[in-house]
Amino acid sequence: MLYSRIPAADKRAAFRARLARPEIAVLPGAFTPLSAKLIQEKGFDGVYISGAVLSAELGLPDVGLTTLSEVALRGGQIARLTDLPAIIDADTGFGEAMNIARTVQELEDAGVAGLHLEDQVNPKRCGHLDGKAVVDDTTALQRITAAANARRDPNLLLIARTDIRAISGLDAAIVRAKQLVDAGADVIFPEAMVDLAEFEGIKRAIGDVPLLANMTEFGKSELFTHTQLEAAGVDLVIHPVSLLRIAFGAMERGLDTLREAGTLQPEVAAMQTRARLYELLDYEAYTAFDTDVFNFSLEKHFGA
C-alpha cells in the first residue's frame, strides 16, 4: 500500500550487488508510477526513467527543454512507488560542474538508485538522431568528476553516457569510455552502437566496469536479444521508450475506433479490466486499512 517500504539506500546497495552477477540486468522504461509497479510485478531487475519519455509526457521534444525540478519530481514519483531500483536520465546535468553537483544530490534525494550523464553539447538531442555534437575531453571528464564528488551515498550508480561513436567512430568511443572510467564512472553507456562487435570492443576496453546497452526502437542499433547482448559483454540493458510507444499506439487505435465506430466496444477485449487495474493498485490493502482505521463507533466515543 502507498509507497515502497524499502529505503532508497537499500535499493542502491541491492542493485550494486545485482550488477556483480553474470546475468544481464533488464530495465524497462517506466513512463508513469503505475507502470513502474507493473514492471516490478513482472519480475524485472529495475526501472528506467527516460529523459525522452519525461519530455514527451510534457508534450516537448527531447532537446534539453525539461528542467531539473521537473525531472526530479517525476523521478521521485516513480522511484518511491516500486521496490525496484530506478535509473534516471539526467541529460547533460542541467549545466556544468556546479549545476551537475546539485543535479546529483537532487536526484539522490528523489530516491533513484542511479543516473546517467552524457557528453553532448547543449542543446542536446536524442542519441539516435543525426546532427549531434559532443563536448571536448576536458568538459566530458569534468562532468563525471563533479558528479562523483557530489554524491553522498557511494552506492548511487554513476553512469557515463557517450555519444561520440556517431561522430568520431568506435576508436574514439573506446578512448572516451576509458577516460570516463578514470574520472569516476561506475557504468559506461555507449550510445548508438551499430552491432554486437562494437559492444564487445567497448567491453574489452573497460574490463570489469559494467556496460549498458540501449535497445530503443527505430534507432541506430539493431534490437538485439538479451542473450546476444549478454554474450557480447553487456551487463545491463534499458528499453527506454517501449512502454510509452506501446501505450500510445493502443490509444491512437482506440481513438480511431471511437471516431469511426462511435463506440469502443471493439476495443474492450484488449483493454486492461477494472479488476486488473484495482489489483495493480492494491485496492484491497487500502480497503483493509480504511476499515482498520474506522472500526469504532462515533456515537460511542463522541455521543450522538
Note the pTM of the prediction, 2 decimals: 0.92
pLDDT tens digits for 75-124? 999 999 999 999 999 999 999 999 999 999 999 999 999 999 999 997 66
126 catalytic? Reply is yes
Is the previous residue joined to 123 through a cis bond, with omega within 30 degrees of 0?
yes
Domain residue ranges in the chain:
8-241, 248-293
Q: Flag whether pLDDT at 287 surpasses 90.
A: no
191 catalytic? Reply is yes
Q: Find all residues with CB under 8 Å of 1, minimum gap 6, and list them.
A: 282, 285, 286, 289
| Domain 8-241 top-level CATH class | alpha beta
108 catalytic? Reply is no
| pLDDT at residue 39 in the model | 98
48 catalytic? Reply is yes
3-state secondary structure labels for all residues of 99-163:
HHHHHHHHHHHCCCCEEEEECECCCCCCCCCCCCCECCHHHHHHHHHHHHHHCCCCCCEEEEEEC
pLDDT tens digits for 234-267? 999 999 999 999 999 999 999 999 999 999 999 9
Query: Which of the residues 74, 119, 126, 235 is marked catalytic?
Result: 126
118 catalytic? Reply is yes
Find cell 543525426 and name the residue.
Answer: 130
| pLDDT at residue 297 in the model | 60
Comparing C-alpha atoms, which of 261, 257, 209 is closest to residue 233?
209
pLDDT tens digits for 61-78? 998 899 999 999 999 999
Query: Which of the residues 12, 16, 45, 62 is marked catalytic?
Result: 62
Confidence of residue 291 (pLDDT cuts 50, 70, 90): confident
62 catalytic? Reply is yes
Query: Which of the residues 12, 48, 128, 165 is marked catalytic?
Result: 48
Q: Flag whether pLDDT at 300 surpasses 60.
A: no
Query: Which of the residues 16, 116, 165, 239 is marked catalytic?
Result: 116
